[in-house]
C-alpha cells in the first residue's frame, strides 16, 4: 500500500509540474516587468528586506549559517547572523537589479569623472583596456559575489568581445523571461552543457574572451581547499587554458553603499605547471580558488553562502 501511495504521489507531481512551472514562469515574467516601472534603488532596498524576511524561514538559511560557522569558526554567533542578514539583503537586491540590468550600468568611459553608479580603479581600467584592445583571447573568472550579473554588462558596455558561460533556470518559462533581459547587450551566451567546452574553446581560438563563474561545487570536479576545507571545483577554465595559451584574469563587481558598485579586474593569474611542462589542472584551480576565498573574506556578506559549497 505504501508503495502504491508513493507511486501515485509521484504521478501527481509529474502531472502537476507543467502547470506549476507555467505559474512560476508567469510570476517571474510579471515580477520582472512590473519591477522595471519603479526606481531601481528603492526597489532594490525593498527586495532586500523581503528576501531577508522570507529567506530566514527557508532551508537555505540553515545551510548559510552552517557554511559561515565552518568558514569562520572564530566569529561569534551574532557576527554570523549579521553576515547572513547581509547575504539575504544582497540576494534580494540582485533580484531587483536584474529587472533593470540593461539600464543600471551607467559608467561613461568618455566621461569617467561623471557621477554614476559605477566606479573603477585606474589599474583595473588599464588592464581592461589592454585586454580589450590587444586582439588576443583571454579567460575571465568571477564568483557569486556582489552583483555578479553586472560583469557581462560591463564587458559589453565597454566593447570587450566576450562569450559567457551560464546555467539555465530549470523552469522553461522563467528561463525565457530571464533570457529576454539577458539578451540585451551581454555578449555571446553559452548555456552549460556537453557542448559548452567546445564552444568556449572555439571562441578563444577566434580571439574572443571567455568568462565563467568558478565558485560552485562540482561533484566530479578537481579537489581544492576552500576556507581550510576540502571541496571540488569545476576544472573547465584550467582545461581551456591547457588548450589555448592566453592570460587568466579575475573580475568582480563589489556592492557599495547607496546603490553603487565598484568594478575590478585582477592582475594576470599565472597557471601552475606540472613536471612535464603542462598546465596542472588541480594546481591552477587551487590558485583561482585562493583568489576567490580572498574576495569572500573581504566581503563575506556579499557572497552566496546559501548553497552547499562543501560535501
Q: What is the pLDDT along the chain (311 residues), one digit of tens a residue?
A: 444 444 434 433 343 334 334 443 444 455 666 666 677 788 888 889 988 999 898 999 999 999 999 999 999 999 999 999 999 999 989 888 887 777 777 777 677 677 778 888 889 999 999 999 999 999 999 999 999 988 888 888 788 889 999 875 544 444 455 555 545 556 788 988 899 999 999 999 999 999 999 998 998 899 999 999 999 999 999 999 999 999 999 999 999 998 899 999 999 999 999 999 999 999 999 999 999 999 999 999 999 999 888 87
CA–CA dist 253, 276 (Å, integer): 37
Distance CA 24, CA 27 (A): 5
- Helix (H) or strand (E) holding 253, with range, is strand 248-256
Q: How far is CA 16 from the centre of its chain?
A: 31
Predicted TM-score of the model (pTM): 0.84
- Predicted pLDDT of residue 7: 45
Give dist(CA 42, CA 98) in Å, integer: 14
Give the per-residue pLDDT at 6.
Answer: 43
Name the residue with cell 502537476: 16
pLDDT at 68: 97
Residue in the structure block whose three cell numbers are 563575506: 300
Q: All 3 cell numbers of residue 85?
A: 542578514
Amino acid at each position: 500500500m505504501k508503495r502504491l501511495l508513493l507511486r501515485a504521489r509521484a504521478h501527481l507531481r509529474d502531472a502537476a509540474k507543467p502547470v506549476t512551472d507555467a505559474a512560476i514562469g508567469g510570476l517571474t515574467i510579471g515580477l520582472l516587468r512590473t519591477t522595471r516601472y519603479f526606481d531601481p534603488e528603492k526597489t532594490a532596498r525593498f527586495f532586500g528586506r523581503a528576501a531577508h524576511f522570507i529567506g530566514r524561514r527557508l532551508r537555505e538559511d540553515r545551510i548559510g549559517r552552517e557554511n559561515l560557522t565552518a568558514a569562520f569558526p572564530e566569529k561569534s554567533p551574532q557576527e554570523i547572523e549579521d553576515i547572513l542578514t547581509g547575504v539575504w539583503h544582497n540576494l534580494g537586491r540582485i533580484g531587483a537589479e536584474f529587472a533593470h540590468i540593461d539600464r543600471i550600468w551607467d559608467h561613461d568611459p568618455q566621461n569617467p569623472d561623471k557621477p554614476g553608479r559605477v566606479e573603477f580603479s585606474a589599474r583595473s581600467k588599464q588592464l581592461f583596456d589592454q585586454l580589450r584592445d590587444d586582439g588576443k583571447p583571454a579567460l575571465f573568472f568571477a564568483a557569486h559575489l556582489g552583483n555578479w550579473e553586472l560583469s557581462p554588462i560591463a564587458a559589453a558596455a565597454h566593447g570587450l568581445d566576450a562569450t559567457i558561460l551560464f546555467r539555465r533556470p530549470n523552469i522553461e518559462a522563467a528561463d525565457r523571461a530571464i533570457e529576454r533581459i539577458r539578451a540585451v547587450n551581454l555578449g555571446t551566451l553559452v548555456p552549460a552543457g556537453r557542448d559548452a567546452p567546445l564552444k568556449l574553446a572555439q571562441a578563444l581560438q577566434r580571439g574572443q574572451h571567455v568568462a565563467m563563474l568558478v565558485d560552485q561545487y562540482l561533484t566530479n570536479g578537481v579537489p581544492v581547499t576552500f576556507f581550510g576545507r576540502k571541496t571540488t571545483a569545476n576544472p573547465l577554465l584550467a582545461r581551456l587554458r591547457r588548450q589555448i595559451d592566453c592570460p587568466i584574469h579575475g573580475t568582480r563587481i563589489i556592492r557599495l553603499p547607496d546603490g553603487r558598485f565598484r568594478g575590478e579586474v585582477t592582475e594576470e593569474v599565472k597557471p601552475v605547471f606540472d613536471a612535464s611542462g603542462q598546465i596542472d589542472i588541480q594546481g591552477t584551480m587551487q590558485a583561482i580558488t585562493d583568489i576567490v576565498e580572498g574576495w569572500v573574506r573581504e566581503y563575506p556578506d556579499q557572497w552566496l553562502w546559501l548553497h552547499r559549497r562543501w560535501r
